[in-house]
Copies of this chain bind each other. A is one copy, B any other.
């Protein structure tokens, strides 16, 4: 992070330019065609490097997206904790897991990434991140009756985003310094209703 620290990672000077070129190409491709259609190969070509170098620097495509968004943690690691949670308990568990990360030392960078997304004129990168990474695991688990999963999961994401705004960005009390478990008890049922509750028919 600080200048003069390149020796620590053992990287040659100049590699940071290659890394940044890959990240920039990734941001453009992910925003243009979405996560699924943006191949590592096409990103490597746009950056003028060998695809193997992209894997070498960033690992999987999902890890590349997390790096492009400057996320401190691959969100699938957070969501993986929820794999064994029954759908009927998903609301509280998701609030606990996600707000838990924001409240942790990793949260500072997660908040910075969120603010940068909100300030960007083109929301396509954020959209593909939310749809193809964050909601991809959740959506099929809450798709009852079939076809409602997208609506249910985006509504839940909207409430989580609003909690992030209130607790971490605008820092408004009593949400800003509320104990995590009280927040889980208050907001968990909202997510649970979105996930498994009766929803009104489409207007």
Which A residues are closer than 8 A to B by beta carbons? 115, 117-119, 123, 126-127, 130-131, 150-151, 154-155, 157-163, 165-166, 169-175, 179, 181-182, 185-187, 189-190, 193-194, 199-200, 202-203
Given A118-B119, A186-B194, 11 additional A-B pairs, CB 8 A? A123-B170, A126-B170, A151-B175, A154-B174, A158-B165, A160-B162, A162-B163, A179-B203, A182-B200, A186-B199, A190-B194
Which residues of B lie under 8 Å from residue A166 when comparing CB positions? 154, 157-158, 161
- In the assembled complex, the CB of A42 is this many whole angstroms from the nearest CB of chain B, namely 24
Indicate if the CB atoms of A172 and B127 lie closer than 8 Å. Answer: yes
- Chain B residues lying within 8 Å of A193, measured Cβ to Cβ, are 189-190
> Which single member of B115, B158, B172, B185 contacts A162 (CB below 8 Å)?
B158
Give chain B residues whose Cβ lies under 8 Å from the Cβ of A150. Answer: 173-174
- List 19 interface pairs A-B (beta carbons < 8 Å), by A numbering: A118-B118, A118-B169, A118-B170, A127-B171, A154-B166, A154-B172, A154-B175, A158-B162, A158-B163, A158-B166, A158-B175, A161-B161, A161-B162, A162-B163, A165-B165, A182-B200, A186-B199, A189-B193, A190-B194
Contact status of A186 and B200, CB under 8 A, knowing A158-B165, A162-B160 = yes
List of B residues within 8 angstroms of A126 by Cβ: 170
A127: B residues at CB distance < 8 A? 170-172
